[in-house]
């Protein structure tokens, strides 16, 4: 049994004394010990070596009273396992030398045996769970099929992912075949994570907000729904769609245990759009962690009061920025932990 | 009197047979004649020479049956007039060598006499109006103070404008002084455009959607409201806030004649959020112009039926992309012009 199960109570919609807290990218560049590790090993080496990935996962846990850990990894390990050789380039970010551009490319993409290709992730989960010693839950994650497609087709980050969108709009059959292959791989990948012992899985749809509501339905949501349907009997599924305010109503009926929202969605709008039955997670503007600790504390108190302490997980509205002072991140976390009605 | 006043009728909320149509960045890189001009003169030369700016403004009008022209210019001519030496760098976009970073920098920023610094824009309006010969209305525009601040502080384009946001959150006094200076300059600039004969002005808040609703209120909307208040007695004001769905209710009560919406806002949500009294403009996904002309025609018909033909201006949800085939842009425009109930 997990000693601090506040995060799981919030996912189950139980009454709590205060909401649980974790931060997207909490095991990230804002931590000096993470930067020191980065200077010694490249990005995907850190993902692939279980002793490194588990150590990085624990870094924020050793510093802060967080209510959940999230396995250090990357959404792009899935397309890597499917035969797409993503690199992480300094100053550029994700990079794929030969992006997917037509049906012939899609046909070459594999739906791999996840144990053969992603065993290092499952080993990292095992090692991390040993180190966590049942203190707090461990979250597993994956990118949404649409978000993964964005990188596979664009080959790198983008402001608006127009190349990926154009691929979908001009070659919908190829797009749907690729999305289904990613979905099938992701389901097998997340199922195995649950078998290894993660307490919940979060699906990150970072680029769903680039699509119109109709195109979101066609190219993103229907595949996330497949993932929720497949995982729901086994664990809690959390769906975070950045910019996807327009889909919160449908998402709330999906069977997901919680929905992540970004900071453009006020707590009142989040509840209006998603209803009162589902747990919400978010949504502090990551840039707002540049405010003073005093302002951060006030804003966190306001955020909790407006979302309400139950059916709520305090978090950022997207990943923490690399240049946030550690004491500001700590002020955010402690403001939740010390919160009183 | 303007012969085709469909755009003005829509702004006044009058009953029309079909909605008017124009496209954001219709005088842009998707036109071969624009690219030919670009090879001969650099970007700001094209803005500064009235004979070039007016010729570029007319380019899409000569090709397509558009219901409004928009003066070829750039939102950054305003900060240029305020003493900030923006360049347009090939493959980079806007570039400011020494971005604004503190109060001392802000204090140096001027609120200029617009006739002395932006006379070339007013001359371009005069020349364009002669060439348009009262066939269709001419729209003038400016960036929102927040969007201009983003470029002044960031010094270039950005995915999330974190540097600009951090400036506002850590140095709010400097931010508000800069925003007020931009607002004062913009009001004088737009008033003079109206005196020169534009039929409406549009304020582009391209990066308002990067802010939380509270921060949007503080750092963007209150300054746009000042612009609306100052211009409303003189002309129609249209406000386009990309990603600003959460502010549509407040915007609808501002005195603006119309609100632009992006493609993440369904027509039904746009009406729900902005009410039935205000004209709406948008919101075809620019990437969707990569679909076939046949698909484009169907989607346009659907868009008009869902927004309704009255109190509606057909447009894209953001600027047209440089790689859109001319015949697809034409299919979009003709689908509106040929639309029948």
* pLDDT value at A90 more than 90: no
- Establish if A292 belongs to a structural domain: no
Residues A298-315 have pLDDT tens digits of 999 999 999 999 999 999
> For B121-147, what is the mean pLDDT?
98
Whether B116 is in a domain gets the answer yes
Kindly report the pTM of this predicted structure.
0.97
Residue B148: phi and psi, rounded to 5, are: -65, -45
Sign of CA pseudo-dihedral A143, A166, A213, B202: positive
pLDDT exceeds cutoff 90 at A91: no
pLDDT attached to residue A121:
98
- pLDDT above 90: residue A24: yes
- For residue B165, the distance in angstroms to the closest alpha carbon of chain A comes to 7
Kindly give the interhelix angle for B222-231 and B145-154, rounded to the nearest 10 degrees.
130
Convert the pLDDT of each residue in B272-305 to its tens digit. 999 999 999 999 999 999 999 999 999 999 999 9
Confidence of residue A46 (pLDDT cuts 50, 70, 90): very high
DSSP at A221: I
Residue B63, burial from CB neighbour count under 10 angstroms (0-12, 13-18, 19+)? middle
Give this complex's ipTM. Answer: 0.95
Query: Residue B273's pLDDT is what?
Result: 97
Q: What is the mean pLDDT of residues B157-175?
A: 97
Cα within 13 Å of Cα(B227), Cβ side: 36
The yes-or-no verdict on residue A125 having pLDDT over 90 is yes
pLDDT tens digits, B65-99: 999 999 999 999 999 999 999 999 988 999 999 99
| CA-based end-to-end distance of chain B | 28
Domain count, chain A: 1
Task: Please report the pLDDT score of residue B253 as a whole number.
Answer: 98
Q: Which residue, among B252, B210, B284, B246, has the nearest Cα to A245 in the 3D structure?
A: B246
Inside any domain, residue A323: no
Q: What's the confidence (pLDDT) of residue B228?
A: 98
Average pLDDT for residues A78-100, to the nearest whole number?
96
Q: What's the confidence (pLDDT) of residue B90?
A: 86
Establish if A285 touches chain B: CB-CB under 8 angstroms.
Answer: yes
- Chain A residue with CA closest to B261: the answer is A212
The residue-averaged pLDDT of A198-217 equals: 98
Give which of B78, B22, B1 is closest to B238, Cα–Cα.
Answer: B22
Considering B5, B7, B18, B25, which one is annotated as catalytic? B25
Chain B residues with beta carbon closer than 8 angstroms to that of A166: 287, 290
Report the range of poorest mean pLDDT among A332-336, B28-32, B88-92, B197-201. Answer: B88-92
Contact A288 B170 (CB under 8 A): no
- Helix/strand/coil (H/E/C) assignment for every residue in chain B: CCCCCHHHHHHHCCCCCCCCECCCCCCCCCCHHHHHHHHHCCHHHHHHCHHHHHHHHHHHHHHCCCCCEECCCCCCHHHHHCCCCCEEECCCEEECCCCCCCHHHHHHCCCCCHHHHHHHHHHHHHHHHHHHCCCCCEEEEEECHHHHHHHHHHCECCCCCHHHHHHHHHCHHHHHHHHHHHHHHHHHHHHHHHHHCCCEEEEEECCHHHCCHHHHHHHHHHHHHHHHHHHCCCCEEEEEECCCHHHHHHHHCCCCCEEECCCCCCHHHHHHHHCCCCEEEEEECHHHHHCCHHHHHHHHHHHHHHHCCCCEEEEECCCCCCCCCHHHHHHHHHHHHCCCC
Q: Is residue A198 part of a domain?
A: yes
What CATH code is carried by the domain that includes residue B17? 3.20.20.210
Determine the residue among A101, A153, A212, A242 to mutate to test chain B binding: the one whose Cβ has the most chain B Cβ atoms within 10 Å: A212
Exposed e or buried b per residue across B193-204, where buried means at least 16 C-beta atoms within 10 angstroms of its C-beta: bbebbbbbbbbb
Distance from CA of A266 to the nearest CA of B (A): 7
Q: What's the rounded mean pLDDT across residues B316-326?
A: 98
Residue A235: which H helix or E strand, with range?
A: none
Q: What is the mean pLDDT of residues A106-128?
A: 98
In a domain, B221, yes or no: yes
CA distance A261 to chain B (A): 12
Beta pairing class for B93-95 and B87-89: antiparallel
User: Containing domain of residue A84, as a range?
Assistant: 6-261
- Residue B1: inside a domain: no
Q: Model confidence at A258, in pLDDT bands (50, 70, 90)?
A: very high
For residue A267, being part of any structural domain is answered with: no
Rounded to the nearest integer, the mean pLDDT of chain A is 97
Domain presence at residue A318:
no
Strand ordering across the sheet containing B312-316: B69-70, B138-143, B200-205, B236-241, B258-260, B279-284, B312-316
Q: What's chain B's average pLDDT?
A: 97
Give B117's pLDDT tier (boundaries 50, 70, 90): very high
């Amino acid at each position: 049994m997990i000693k601090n199960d506040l995060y799981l109570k919030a996912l189950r919609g139980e009454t709590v004394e205060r909401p649980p807290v974790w931060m997207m990218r909490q095991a990230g560049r804002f931590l000096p010990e993470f930067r020191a590790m980065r200077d010694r090993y490249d990005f995907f080496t850190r993902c692939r070596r279980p002793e490194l990935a588990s150590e990085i996962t624990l870094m924020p846990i050793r510093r802060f009273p967080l209510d959940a850990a999230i396995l250090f990894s990357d959404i792009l390990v899935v397309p890597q396992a499917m035969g797409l050789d993503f690199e992480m380039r300094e100053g550029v970010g994700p990079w794929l030398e030969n992006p997917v551009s037509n049906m012939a490319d899609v046909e070459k993409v594999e739906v791999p045996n996840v144990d053969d290709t992603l065993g290092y992730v499952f080993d990292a989960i095992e090692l991390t769970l040993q180190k966590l010693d049942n203190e707090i839950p461990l979250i597993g994650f994956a990118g949404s099929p649409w978000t993964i497609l964005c990188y596979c087709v664009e080959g790198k980050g983008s402001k608006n992912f127009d190349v990926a969108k154009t691929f979908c709009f001009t070659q919908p059959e190829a797009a749907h075949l690729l999305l289904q292959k990613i979905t099938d791989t992701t389901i097998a990948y997340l199922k195995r994570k649950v078998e290894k012992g993660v307490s919940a899985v979060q699906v990150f749809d970072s680029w769903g907000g680039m699509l119109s509501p109709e195109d979101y339905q066609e190219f993103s949501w229907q595949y996330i729904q497949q993932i929720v349907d497949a995982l729901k009997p086994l664990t809690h599924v959390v769906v975070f769609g950045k910019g996807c305010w327009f889909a919160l109503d449908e998402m709330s009926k999906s069977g997901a245990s919680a929905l992540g929202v970004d900071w453009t969605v006020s707590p009142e709008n989040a509840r209006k759009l998603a209803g009162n039955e589902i747990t919400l997670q978010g949504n502090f503007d990551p840039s707002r962690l540049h405010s003073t600790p005093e302002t951060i504390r006030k804003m966190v108190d306001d955020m909790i009061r407006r979302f309400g302490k139950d059916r709520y997980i305090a978090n950022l509205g997207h990943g923490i920025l690399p240049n946030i002072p550690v004491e500001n991140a700590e002020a955010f976390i402690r403001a939740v932990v010390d919160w009183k009605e």
